[in-house]
Structure 1
Amino acid sequence: MSIHSELIPRVTVEGAVYPSLKGKGVLITGGGSGIGASLVEHFCTQGARVGFIELNSDTADETARRIGAATGNPPHHEAVDLRDIGALRTAISSLSERIGPVRVLVNNAGNDDRMPLENVTPEYWDERFQTNLRHQFFAAQAVIGDMARAGGGSIINMGSISWMRGAAGLIFYTTAKSAVMGMTKSLAREVGERNIRVNSIAPGWVLTERQVERAKRIYHGKFAEYLEVQCLKEHLLPPDIARMALWLAADDSRLVTAQTFIVDAGVV
């Protein structure tokens, strides 16, 4: 049984239309599944020229096929390990040739796997930062030139409320995600004169298929317990995050920068 039929009604991609996004080049990292796939679908629905990066080539192919069929606006994609900065730069260059200059970058990719404190090695710590933070900076670095030459753009970094809550079992993740806020504010200051806006989104617990399967396997009671700490008693879904990203990408938020937007139904 899917998460939508078991726990909550399905949220469709219907919503506000942003004319300023039509035809605009949008690059999304980690776009093959979960929040990333919802981002790809929402931007394609707006008529943007979308490219996404995904680690697994089969997942990328299937997501692109599905979204293309659903929206009539098939996204382009590259299969890349974002920990390889050289490969990331090459993928961004390749996608830019197909979608035009990148005017919107959504740094979505990340991984919140857990590990006991005692088992964390220096090598694992460094790898988690490569997975959850480093690529965000280098993806931004790779697109700011095109953004500036095109007249400006919007960079959206994906953070998390996990560090605000002091979540246990993933210190390497919460440390990296807390750094996203600082990076966002400094980057916004540095590129503002080029008409580039930089903001971040800090989601709460979003019920992607991956998150639901893990919660069912480890502790099914988490669903009810998490609702208790939310002000709004409805589970977050990927479209709830995607809709915030649409607004931050569109001209409607043209003077909004250096901010972190918490989308968590009122947890923190």
Structure 2
Amino acid sequence: MSLGDDGYGGGYGDDHHLTRTRLPEGEVDPYAQPRRGRAGRPGRQGRPSNRNLLMVVGVIVLLIAAIAFANRGGGSGSDGGSSAKGHPDSRSTAPTGTRPVDGKSAGIASGFAHSEQGAQSAAANYAVALGGDGMFRADSRHAIVDSVYTPATAAKLKGPQDQAYSADFLKKLGLDADGNPPRDKTFISRTIPVGTKVEDYSSDRAKVSVWYTGLIGMAGTGSTDPVRTDWKTWTFDLRWIDNDWKAESDDQTNGPAPVTGDVPAASAEDISKAVKEYGGFTYAR
């Protein structure tokens, strides 16, 4: 076989018919000279095809859709549990929409819903009340105990608590015998719930654990007991009585505590100011 004048292979015989080889669509003859467009620009062979462009755009759209779906945080459903694989999803901490309370008693939330949600709300708010600075003064402590506990439990607790909050104990915290701090200092005691968990539930009883962080100490110049944080779990045995959840008993354990962060400690003045300016919440599940 001989080559024709145009570089393509000639046919057999005297008539020298030219044979042109057609390459599959989209492929380029590696031995052919590249064709150039006008003004020295690459011709059509150097441009991506419309089909390739559509494929690239399709992949980008699918990737964006997958990221958006992942950021939604989980599927639908009304329960606040975990996903099928046992991992918590967004519903475990999402608001339920149920009104937490209908009123207050001695400044403490009351009238909780007769449900698991209501029991969790009651436990969280009772942890806040029992962990507040009102427990260090006899009059407010008695009011808190009467509001949080069942009548029978409250009657049993007041005497032992009055002994526990003795003048000697209060003095160690920098308070006077009535539970008041010096005029130039601010005593701080706060409970901040992080989450709640129902350990057991029936129509008239519930056991709820409250994981919380707490603040306690004396803020002010020359304080020997600076404000510090703590992490504990407070478990309440609740009973449905007089159309509300009341505590029959409670218990605390340490932790779980996270790793301490690298935020520098604030000054005593800043802590005192923050406690006075930032009020508390009514907690709900």
* TM-score range relative to shorter protein: under 0.3
Query: Which has the larger share of strand?
Result: 2
Query: Which has the larger share of helix?
Result: 1
Q: What's the TM-score once normalised by structure 1's chain length?
A: 0.28
- Structure 1 or 2, whichever has the larger Rg, is 2
